[in-house]
Amino acid sequence: MFFRNFNQLSKAKKSILSVLFLCLNVQLLAQTTYFLQNKKLNPAIPNPDQFLGYEFGSLHTRYEKMVEYMKELDRLSDRVSVQTIGRTNEQREQIIVTFTNPANYAKLEQIRKEHLDLADPSKPMPDVSKMPVISWLS
């Protein structure tokens, strides 16, 4: 993600981006606790351990099980959307999973265009303080 003017981002967005870049560059051990421990989570949505039937990270999880879990999240939550974008040469389903609130999901194309404008020097600089942070994990 490239920004023409990183200084125009709010302090919170800079912090979030810094943490994301740090996480992407640090080798992490298997997660033993969940990030939102003190938050009330929807009990109808299983965590990975509940869905898989074993502690996530303790065994190898096959790709198709990860896809099944993402589809289960899509089925149970209005904040998750799974799209099939193709198949691998081994005929495994390739997916994109979008995690966002329903209001942002309804305007994904507008958000995408605003982020593309950040990379185009011929376009006026959009108000980045009102733009959601986007993270691509692959």
Distance CA 44, CA 47 (A): 10
What does the pLDDT average to over 23-46? Answer: 65
CA 71 to chain centre: 14
Q: Could you give the number of structural domains in the chain?
A: 1
pLDDT in tens, 100-123: 999 999 999 999 888 888 889 998
pTM: predicted TM-score of the whole model, two decimal places: 0.65
- In 3-state terms the chain splits into helix, strand, coil percentages (rounded to 5) of 40, 10, 50
Would you say residue 94 lies in a domain? yes
Residue 36 placed within a domain: no
| CB 29, CB 56: distance < 8 Å | no
pLDDT band per the 50, 70, 90 thresholds, residue 127: confident
DSSP per-residue string spanning 35-56: TTTTS---TTS--HHHHHTS-B
> Residue 96 falls within a domain, yes or no?
yes
Tokens matching residue 75 = 């089925």
Whether 125 maps to a domain, the answer reads no
Of 91, 96, 93, which is closest to residue 112 (Cα–Cα)?
Answer: 96
Smallest CA-to-CA distance from 97 within 40, 138, 126 is with: 138
- What average pLDDT does range 50-63 have in this prediction? 93
Q: 24-33, 55-64, 79-88, 116-125 — which is least confidently predicted?
A: 24-33
Question: Which residue in this structure is represented by tokens 């899509």?
Answer: 74
Domain that holds residue 58: 44-118
Q: Is 132 part of a structural domain of the chain?
A: no
Nearest 5°: CA angle at 47, between 41 and 50?
130
Does residue 7 lie in a domain region? no
Tell me if 15 is assigned to some domain. Answer: no
